[in-house]
Amino acid sequence: MSLAGTMGGHTRKPWLKRLADTSEPYLYSAPSLILIVTVMLVPLALGISYAFRDIQLLNPFSGGFIGLDHFRALGEDTAFYRALKNTLWWTGASVFLQFTFGLILALLLDKPFWGRGVVQALVFLPWAVPSFLAGLNWAWLFNPVIGPLPHWFFALGLIDQPTNLLSDPHYAMWGPILANVWWGIPFFAITLLAALQAIPRDLYEAASIDGATGLQRFTSITLPFLAPTIAITVLLRTVWISNFADLIVVMTGGGPADRTQIVASYIFTQAFRRLDFGYASAIALVLLALLMAYSMLIILLRQSLLSKD
Amino acid sequence: MQSGLLPTIAHRLAVLAYVVFALFPLFWLLKVSVTPNDLLYSEGVRMWPSATTFEHYAHVLRHSAFPTFFKNSVIVSGSTAVIVTLLASLSGYALSRFSFRSKYWIVALMLLTQMFPLVMLVAPIFKILSPLGLTNSLTGLVIVYSAFNVPFATFLMQSFFDGIPKDLEEAAMIDGATRFTAFRQIILPLTLPGIAATLGFVFTAAWSELLFALMLINGNDAATFPVGLLTFVSKFSVDFGQMMAAGILALIPAGFFFLLIQRYLVQGLTAGAVKG
């Protein structure tokens, strides 16, 4: 907007001043960029090269180039396919539930009421709970020795006896998902509430004067205004959650029998427990390729949404 | 907007349900942490034990390595928060105020770092830091965490700078100040809420980080709280009272920071959104 206006004068300035002007934004961003490149991009490139090498931390004879061997092994790795399927399930259910309950919470908090400030601080609190603690906390709630949940489920007739949901191969995934929903609702509520509060109030007044019902006001004012925020947060959050292994590592470690293993936790297990950095990097590369296509979509979307404003 | 009695009651009940859902797990943590060992199993699902005790806290504070873990985590999270906020104010300012040729690529790079699986970097970062003597060290963690948090913090600071009119530093620059002086003396003081929010965000993120801490740290001396607590859990998995007391302690700094900044959180994001 006004940035374009300041560009016009450049040609008439002396070259030294021009150089100083053009280098200025780079000076401001250089420290951040250097840090990102050395600590993220260089290891990323190194990690990609590991995928084609035999790198095992405890084996001094490893390190050689082995071409596509890791990927051939990966093609026959049933645990990997299960992890892929689990990732879809984990991500889909978590994002859907977090978003739905987050939107409802944002709408509830958008109305002024007595004590709203306190309520807002309390319902956003799970977001501040460190993820490892959220995982442990929910693991304890599911533990029949000290947690109430198995006894409540039993009393409701949902299960035959008060056992730990996290060790049930069929339902174990619901444990980390529930913890994730609890932990992630505030994120959606915060972003959506911010977007809701940016909607001009007079629009609603004008609409009620024209006789619009509550539902009409929601679908024709609220939703269109929220749409860009919803699109970007849901897309970004989908990528983020599909990579989010903390809760699973803490609560189930991928078990029982790999039933809760997602790709991200599988990579971590390979690197951390088996110290097989090569194989871990090969899985990571496949995950990266899958996410890359998805991420391109987000960047394009962000650009087109920003240029529309 | 006028609303009747029934919708109002439904609204308050829904709000109450959210509050209960949000607080219940934390309440349970607190409850078990003050339950004496002999009542732990006999009064399993009671909402509050018939007798309470602080012996678990006393034990954790006096006879365990948790105070060290706590100190390590404070050092790591505090340093990371300060470094990141400093760097992100500069780069966020650049993205907010300049229109330059590679801006698109810088934004794309920062978005990319937000999207690729960080767990990919666990192995290579270990391999790089190990010969430098930065594994098993707090400095190594601070460097890694700073890099991870700079992109998001940059976008956050950018949104705060976007909310401040450009005329302010333009006026100062016409009066002869350099841009950097104008930035330091006029713009930064106006973004204090943004700086507080960024500090809080990054502190909380660093306080919570688990996977890299597990990979890079072994042994108690440099362990952060998550590593210490998980080691404790896998070693003494029957000391529930002590584990939960330690959990409550881990919650305190993050919760405190959060309560300080949560007011700015919605405000700040709104400011970013309003600008459009």
Residues in B 93-122 with any Cβ partner in A closer than 8 A: 93-95, 97-100, 102-104, 106, 108-122
Instruction: Kindly determine whether residue B122 and residue A267, on different chains, have CB atoms separated by under 8 Å.
Output: yes
With tokens 């700094």, the residue in question is: B253
Does the beta carbon of A104 lie under 8 angstroms from any beta carbon of chain B?
yes
| Same domain, residue pair A100 and A44 | no
- ipTM score assigned to the predicted complex: 0.84
**Looking at residue B270, what is its pLDDT?**
47
| Same domain, residue pair A46 and A74 | no
A286 is a domain residue: yes
Structure confidence at residue B275 as a pLDDT band (50, 70, 90): very low
**Looking at residue A309, what is its pLDDT?**
53
Residue of A nearest to B224 (CA): A132
**Looking at residue B192, what is its pLDDT?**
86
A26 is a domain residue: yes
Q: How many domains does chain A have?
A: 2
Residue of A nearest to B243 (CA): A136
| pLDDT at residue A85 is higher than 90 | yes
Residues of A in contact with B29 (CB under 8 A): 137, 140
Structure confidence at residue B274 as a pLDDT band (50, 70, 90): very low
Does the beta carbon of A114 lie under 8 angstroms from any beta carbon of chain B?
no
Question: Rounded distance, CA B105 to CA B250, Å?
Answer: 39
More confident residue, A278 or A57: A278
Q: Residue A287: which of B103, B117, B207 has the nearest Cβ?
A: B117
Domains along chain B?
1-53 (no CATH), 57-275 (1.10.3720.10)
Q: Residue A36: which of B113, B214, B257 has the nearest Cβ?
A: B113
Residues of A in contact with B214 (CB under 8 A): 272
Residues of A in contact with B21 (CB under 8 A): 182
Q: Residue A280: which of B123, B210, B255 has the nearest Cβ?
A: B123
Query: Which of the residue ranges B53-57, B98-102, B151-155 would you say has the lowest mean pLDDT?
Result: B98-102
Structure confidence at residue B265 as a pLDDT band (50, 70, 90): low
pTM of the model: 0.84
Residue of A nearest to B46 (CA): A148
**What tens digit of pLDDT does each residue of B244-262 get?**
999 999 888 888 877 777 6
Q: Residue B247: which of A136, A182, A284 has the nearest Cβ?
A: A136
**Looking at residue B140, what is its pLDDT?**
94
Query: Residues A129-147, buried b or exposed e (16+ Cβ, 10 A)?
Result: bbbbbbbbbbbbbbbbebb
Q: What rounded mean pLDDT belongs to chain B?
A: 85
Task: Give the mean pLDDT of B65-89.
Answer: 94
CB-based contact A266:A282 (threshold 8 Å): no
More confident residue, B140 or B170: B140
A101 is a domain residue: yes
Q: Residue B25: which of A138, A250, A284 has the nearest Cβ?
A: A138
A60 is a domain residue: no
| pLDDT at residue A114 is higher than 60 | yes
**Looking at residue B264, what is its pLDDT?**
66
Residues of B in contact with A120 (CB under 8 A): 262, 266
A63 is a domain residue: no
| Same domain, residue pair A184 and A260 | yes
Does the beta carbon of A19 lie under 8 angstroms from any beta carbon of chain B?
no
| Same domain, residue pair A263 and A125 | yes
Query: Which of the residue ranges A33-42, A187-196, A228-237, A267-276 would you say has the lowest mean pLDDT?
Result: A228-237
Instruction: Kindly determine whether residue B276 and residue A182, on different chains, have CB atoms separated by under 8 Å.
Output: no
Residue of B nearest to A186 (CA): B22
A56 is a domain residue: no
Q: What is the largest CA-CA distance in chain B?
A: 76
CATH code of A74's domain: 1.10.3720.10
| Same domain, residue pair A86 and A178 | yes
Instruction: Kindly determine whether residue B226 and residue A130, on different chains, have CB atoms separated by under 8 Å.
Output: yes
The helix (run of H) or strand (run of E) holding residue A92 is helix A78-110
CB-based contact A189:A123 (threshold 8 Å): yes
Residues of A in contact with B125 (CB under 8 A): 39, 43
With tokens 């990371």, the residue in question is: B80
| Same domain, residue pair A117 and A10 | no
| Same domain, residue pair A227 and A122 | yes
Domain residues for the domain of A101 are 69-308
Residues of A in contact with B93 (CB under 8 A): 28
| pLDDT at residue B276 is higher than 50 | no
Instruction: Kindly determine whether residue B118 and residue A29, on different chains, have CB atoms separated by under 8 Å.
Output: no
Instruction: Kindly determine whether residue B233 and residue A136, on different chains, have CB atoms separated by under 8 Å.
Output: yes
Query: Which of the residue ranges A198-202, A293-297, B8-12, B156-160 would you say has the lowest mean pLDDT?
Result: A293-297
| Same domain, residue pair A20 and A74 | no
| Same domain, residue pair A143 and A248 | yes
DSSP per-residue codes, chain B:
----HHHHHHHHHHHHHHHHHHHHHHHHHHHHHTS-HHHHTTTTT-SS-SS---HHHHHHHHHSSHHHHHHHHHHHHHHHHHHHHHHHHHHHHHHHH---TTHHHHHHHHHHHHHS-GGGGHHHHHHHHTTTT-TTSHHHHHHHHHHHHHHHHHHHHHHHHHTS-THHHHHHHHTT--HHHHIIIIIHHHTHHHHHHHHHHHHHHHHH--HHHHHH--SSTT--HHHHHHHHHHH-TT-HHHHHHHHHHHHHHHHHHHHHHHHHHHHHHHHHHHH-
For the stretch B265-269, contacts whose Cβ atoms lie closer than 8 Å and that sit 24 or more positions apart, written own/partner, are B265/A124, B265/A190, B265/B197, B266/A120, B266/A190, B266/A193, B266/A194, B266/A197, B267/B193, B268/B156, B268/B159, B268/B160, B268/B193, B268/B194, B268/B197, B269/A190, B269/A191, B269/A194, B269/B159
Classify the phi-psi angles of B81: left when phi > 0, otherwise alpha if psi is within -120 to 50, otherwise beta: alpha
| Same domain, residue pair A35 and A160 | no
The conformation of residue A165, written as its DSSP 8-state character, comes to G
Residues of A in contact with B265 (CB under 8 A): 124, 190
Q: What is the largest CA-CA distance in chain A?
A: 83
Query: Which of the residue ranges A13-17, B213-217, B260-264 would you say has the lowest mean pLDDT?
Result: B260-264
Structure confidence at residue A210 as a pLDDT band (50, 70, 90): confident
| Same domain, residue pair A32 and A78 | no
| Same domain, residue pair A188 and A230 | yes
Residue of A nearest to B99 (CA): A3
With tokens 């374009």, the residue in question is: A4
**Looking at residue B267, what is its pLDDT?**
57
A196 is a domain residue: yes
Q: How far is residue B258 CA from its own chain's centroid?
A: 8
Instruction: Kindly determine whether residue B99 and residue A7, on different chains, have CB atoms separated by under 8 Å.
Output: yes
Q: What rounded mean pLDDT belongs to chain A?
A: 86
Task: Tally the residues of chain B.
Answer: 276
Neighbours of B186 (CB within 10 A): 16
Query: Residues A177-202, buried b or exposed e (16+ Cβ, 10 A)?
Result: bbbbbbbbbbbbbbbbbbbbbbbeee
A114 is a domain residue: yes
